[in-house]
């Protein structure tokens, strides 16, 4: 870290905390501004970037971003913190679950974006270039949306670079959750011509240790879930020597390479049999789908030993709807 910290037109000098917004694109009636918070430490150190609100009803992560920034004293910080707390502002106002209602795009599937694309692609391009790519490490906050019950867990992508993955996992252990999905990269390789990808995977492809932290359930704004993200991030900053304090020592997480999204094969009403956080055995019933009259249409069973990370709470499902996420153990 040398000199001022700048993101777009927002500038923070050493020892300053500044809140502003960067222009991320244009619509017919106005320019699109995305809020950012910069905390520039007094001393040299790494730059950590945090994003939230790609999925706009995941309120815990959005609020946690503001709390983290408010807790930090720049005079006691080594390095920089860059926070983009609400990427999908239009979805936030429209109560849109996963997409930007302006163009229907899911922001966390289109990284690294495109400055010539629709507004979601422009937002992603600006955030990727000006927030994520300038950092030494990156955390993306997510959580349970409307109609989704969820337990805290972490996703850490593996691009095949062992040194990079080990650096990311060191931060994951410092953050501290019981379950970690060691995910293979699902983004297209660089040079493929495709712009599709997850934020943390695209960051990893550029050599930035990254992970996604999930906390919060059913779009509820509960203090315990906010605190999980806040304290976990503070632990990461201590592990990076950005903050004073003892290094966190957390239990070794349960790490799995396989996560499965369960989808409905029939339309009807969902009846969960297990709860989120339950560890289940191979063949154990997870949920049933029944008709309005109660006829059994489909039964979901665990393909092997697993933990239930999430479960849909709205009972109405259509053929093809995602209703649960399980991590194989």
What pLDDT digit, counting tens, does each position of 199-211 carry? 999 999 999 999 9
Convert the pLDDT of each residue in 46-93 to its tens digit.
999 999 999 999 999 999 999 999 999 999 999 999 999 999 999 999
Same fold, 5-254 and 258-328: no
- Please report, for the chain, the start and end positions of each structural domain, with discontinuous segments joined by +: 5-254, 258-328
Convert the pLDDT of each residue in 82-124 to its tens digit.
999 999 999 999 999 889 999 999 999 999 999 999 999 999 9
Convert the pLDDT of each residue in 292-309 to its tens digit.
999 999 999 999 999 999
Query: Which pLDDT band holds residue 194 (cuts at 50, 70, 90)?
Result: very low
Using the predicted structure, report yes or no on whether residue 185 has a pLDDT greater than 80.
Answer: no
Q: Which two tokens stand for residue 236?
A: 């990461």
What is the mean predicted confidence (pLDDT) over 131-148?
A: 96
Contact 32, 24 (CB under 8 A): yes
CA distance 155 to 151: 13
Query: Which pLDDT band holds residue 224 (cuts at 50, 70, 90)?
Result: very high
- pLDDT score of 246: 87
Reference 72, options 63, 62, 61, 81; nearest CA is 81
- pLDDT score of 191: 44
Q: Which two tokens stand for residue 245?
A: 């304090």
**Distant-in-sequence, close-in-space partners of 171: CB < 8 Å, separation ≥ 6:** 137, 139, 209, 211, 236, 239, 240
Using the predicted structure, report yes or no on whether residue 155 has a pLDDT greater than 50.
Answer: yes
Q: 2.40.50.100, 1.10.3720.10, 3.30.300.30, 1.10.260.40: which CATH number matches 258-328?
A: 2.40.50.100
Convert the pLDDT of each residue in 10-29 to its tens digit.
999 999 999 999 999 999 99
Percent of the chain at pLDDT above 90?
90
- pLDDT score of 196: 56
- pLDDT score of 184: 77
Please identify which residue in the block is written with the tokens 């503001």.
Answer: 66
Convert the pLDDT of each residue in 240-256 to its tens digit.
999 998 888 899 999 99
Task: Tabulate helix, strand, coil % of the chain (nearest 5).
Answer: 25, 35, 40
CA distance 323 to 329: 19
Q: 3.50.50.60, 3.40.630.10, 3.40.50.1700, 3.30.1280.10: which CATH number matches 5-254?
A: 3.40.630.10
Query: Which pLDDT band holds residue 160 (cuts at 50, 70, 90)?
Result: confident
pLDDT mean across residues, the chain: 93
**First-to-last CA distance in the chain?**
41
Using the predicted structure, report yes or no on whether residue 187 has a pLDDT greater than 60.
Answer: no
Reference 125, options 140, 114, 117, 138; nearest CA is 114
- pLDDT score of 121: 95
CA distance 42 to 55: 33
Query: Which pLDDT band holds residue 193 (cuts at 50, 70, 90)?
Result: very low
- pLDDT score of 195: 45
Percent of the chain at pLDDT above 70?
95
Q: Give SS3 for 300.
A: strand
Contact 138, 200 (CB under 8 A): yes
What is the mean predicted confidence (pLDDT) over 225-239?
A: 97
């Amino acid at each position: 870290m040398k000199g001022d910290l700048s993101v777009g037109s927002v500038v923070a000098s050493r020892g300053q905390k500044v809140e502003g917004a960067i222009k991320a694109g244009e619509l017919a009636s106005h320019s699109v501004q995305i809020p950012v918070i910069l905390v520039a430490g007094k001393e040299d150190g790494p730059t950590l970037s945090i994003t939230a609100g790609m999925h706009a009803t995941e309120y815990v992560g959005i609020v946690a971003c503001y709390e983290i920034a408010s807790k930090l004293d720049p005079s006691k910080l080594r390095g920089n913190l860059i926070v983009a707390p609400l990427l999908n502002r239009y979805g936030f106002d429209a109560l849109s679950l996963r997409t930007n209602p302006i163009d229907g795009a899911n922001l966390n599937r289109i990284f690294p974006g495109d400055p010539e694309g629709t507004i979601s692609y422009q937002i992603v391009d600006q955030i990727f270039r000006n927030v994520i790519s300038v950092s030494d490490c990156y955390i993306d906050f997510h959580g349970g949306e409307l109609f989704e019950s969820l337990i805290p867990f972490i996703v850490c992508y593996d691009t095949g670079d062992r040194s990079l993955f080990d650096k990311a996992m060191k931060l994951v252990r410092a953050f501290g959750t019981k379950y970690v999905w060691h995910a293979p990269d699902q983004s297209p390789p660089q040079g493929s011509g495709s712009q599709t990808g997850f934020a943390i995977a695209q960051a990893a492809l550029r050599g930035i240790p990254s992970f996604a932290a999930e906390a919060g359930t059913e779009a509820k704004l509960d203090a315990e879930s906010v605190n999980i993200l806040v304290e976990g991030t503070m632990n990461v900053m201590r592990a990076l020597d950005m903050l004073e304090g003892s290094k966190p020592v957390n239990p070794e997480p349960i790490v799995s390479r396989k996560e499965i999204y369960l989808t409905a094969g029939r339309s009807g009403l969902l009846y969960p049999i297990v709860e989120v956080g339950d560890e289940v055995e191979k063949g154990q019933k997870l949920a049933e789908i029944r008709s309005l009259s109660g006829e059994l249409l489909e039964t979901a069973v665990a393909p092997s030993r697993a933990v239930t990370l999430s479960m849909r709470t709205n009972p109405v499902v259509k053929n093809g709807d995602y209703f649960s996420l399980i991590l194989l153990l």
